[in-house]
Structure 1
Amino acid sequence: MICSMTGYAVKTRDIERGTLQLELKSVNSRYLDFHFRVSEELRALEMPLRELLAARLSRGKVECRLSFNAGSARGDQLELNGELLGSLKVLNQRVRDEMPEARPLSVNDVLRWPGMFGDQSIDFAALGPQVMALAREVLDEFTASRAREGEKLAAMIVDRVNAIRAVVARVAPRIPEAQALFTDKLRQRLQEALGNASDDRILQEVAVFATRIDVAEELTRLNAHLDEVERVLKHGGACGKRLDFLMQELNREANTLGSKSAVTEVSQASMELKLLIEQMREQIQNLE
């Protein structure tokens, strides 16, 4: 499986005292780079989260957001603290007896009294298993999104590889004949220019030039690099760096073809190849 470095996933989970939310998103990066946005009360879980993500991801700038929103997420019915409510009733009446002008406690005052709904504190240390279970779900969805995009990018790269092979297949058979015609013209021009020079000297100069414009070796290496690109894509995994290196090698051969060109067909082919290689390289920058 080939994965893109771009991905996104978010999930929420209702727990007893509120709602957990974990969000993952990533963009391109040369290395694996984490950025965590974690609620202070859950800060102790950053290291386990980092280890979990690092075990599944190899490249990309990854942002992880973990938050907890307090509330009655499950719709549990709140219960009043009966003992505290009775004490407040007695105290309220005692104050009114001593100070008739005093304002009685309102319903809002009673409901906001500390401890009226019992112990509402949250043991965040105990949330670790629930957070990690949520993180594994989000990570599965996150890697699936990266894999879907990676599959599309791989298909595009294969399409460009086939286009390069088509250019080579179109031009390669015409190169020997075109180069032969060019060397014949060169021989005639040398004979006209050198005049009294021996035929051996002219043939020697032509042979040297013919060697310089021979592109058979470059075409062979070009096809070998294309074979390697296809092999890497079939193998899958984190292959972005390897493919990026192959793009450099392909571009080197395309440039050499252009510099050795003695015929229009090769020059045009070199430009087409460089364009296709650049299109592949731009997409490979997105691969893990």
Structure 2
Amino acid sequence: MTAFASRSGHHGPVSWVWDLRSVNGRGLDLRLRLPDGIEGLESEARKKLGAALTRGNVTLGLKMTREASETELTLDPDHLARVLRALDEIQSRAVEMGVTLAQPTAADVLTQRGVLAQGQPETAADPELPRLLLADLDSLLADFLAMRDSEGAALAGLMNDQIAAIDTLVAEAEARLPDRGDQTRAALRRALDRITAEGAPVEEDRLAQELALIAVKNDVTEELDRLRAHIGAARDLLGQGGAVGRKLDFLAQEFNREANTLCSKAQDKALTRIGLDLKAVIDQMREQTQNVE
């Protein structure tokens, strides 16, 4: 889920820079940092991100700048009319008093405070700008998803290696079972010999029941079979692609549960070592599943 993309553009005097980044997250958390005043931009951006992404802490930012230009000098018509009326009244009073005044020039009028202003029109006033920004967002999102795909391909290779390591360890555990069975029977025989040597009476039926219970309790065949099934399911998920992060996360928990049970039932040094190695690889895989969408 970790990725980053950036894209810049311009339209007339307006320039912008988009950036989109994400880090690991259990769900989809969208954080948008967009300038105010552009109608519909945030809602459309959320819609596009929500349709393309399903997981991760995602931050989308947009920075906009406007170049200053002489074309941004604007007249205030109302204030200009007030200035011209005032000048007309001054000329009329001067004539009544016999005073001759020079006619004001346009430059004189423009120097009056408030007649001419250097302003920046609102960004949203340009109806073309939101469309261009959203089109650029589509390209940004495509670059972002391409980076995610590249990261995902590398991650899939790593996780397949980890699943192969689990497969190898399960095979080692299965190969260990015959020797473990012989050792378990020998240990039970020694324990039985100690009991009978003390002269304690032994009921054959009860003894058979207890031995059967011990055998069932220590049997790890089901755990190994479930680990085999989980290996197949994990490989299928990685092969199908798409948003499989949550499923892989759940599957990693199931892997860990079986490895814990294997360790608790082992009663064999070699099998315990295999179980601990399994837990180590499974823990590494669980960490990587946090990076999968």
Contact 2:259–2:275 (8 Å) recurs in 1: yes
Q: Which amino acid aligns with 1:266?
A: L
Q: Which amino acid aligns with 1:6?
A: T
Q: Hey, what does 2:97 align to over in structure 1?
A: none
Q: Does 1:265 align with 2:270?
A: yes
CA distance in structure 1 between the partners assigned to 2:250 and 2:121 by the alignment: 58
Q: Which amino acid aligns with 1:11?
A: R
Q: Hey, what does 1:227 align to over in structure 2?
A: 232
Which runs of 5 or more residues in structure 2 are unaligned? 81-86, 88-99
State the SS of the aligned residue for 2:227.
Answer: helix
State the SS of the aligned residue for 1:13.
Answer: strand
Q: Hey, what does 1:18 align to over in structure 2?
A: 14
Q: Which amino acid aligns with 1:193?
A: I
**Deviation (angstroms), 1:179:** 1.9
**Deviation (angstroms), 1:184:** 2.1
Q: Does 1:243 align with 2:272?
A: no
Q: Hey, what does 2:94 align to over in structure 1?
A: none
1:199-224 Cα distance to aligned partner (Å, 9 max, x none): 55434322221121111111000010
Question: Normalised by the size of structure 1, how large is the TM-score?
Answer: 0.81
Q: Which of the residues 164, 170, 173 maps onto 1:171?
A: 173
1:60-87 Cα distance to aligned partner (Å, 9 max, x none): 1111112221017xxxx96798x9xxx9
Sort the Cα spacing of 1:132 and 1:285 in 2 relative to 1 into closer, same or farther, 3 A: same
1:188-242 Cα distance to aligned partner (Å, 9 max, x none): 3223214432455434322221121111111000010010000001011110100
Q: Which of the residues 27, 38, 49 maps onto 1:31?
A: 27
Contact 2:11–2:129 (8 Å) recurs in 1: no
Q: Which amino acid aligns with 1:41?
A: G
Larger Rg: 1 or 2?
2
Q: Which of the residues 2, 9, 15 maps onto 2:5?
A: 9
Q: Does 1:46 align with 2:42?
A: yes
Sort the Cα spacing of 1:203 and 1:128 in 2 relative to 1 into closer, same or farther, 3 A: same
CA distance in structure 2 between the partners assigned to 1:26 and 1:180 by the alignment: 54
Higher relative contact order (CA 8 A, sep 6+): 1
Q: Hey, what does 1:94 align to over in structure 2?
A: none
Output aligned runs, 1:1-288, within 5 Å: 5-42=1-38, 44-71=40-67, 114=116, 122=123, 123-194=125-196, 195=199, 196-288=201-293
**Deviation (angstroms), 1:27:** 1.2
Sort the Cα spacing of 1:275 and 1:43 in 2 relative to 1 into closer, same or farther, 3 A: farther
**Deviation (angstroms), 1:120:** 5.8
CA RMSD of aligned residues (A): 3.0
Question: Normalised by the size of structure 2, how large is the TM-score?
Answer: 0.79
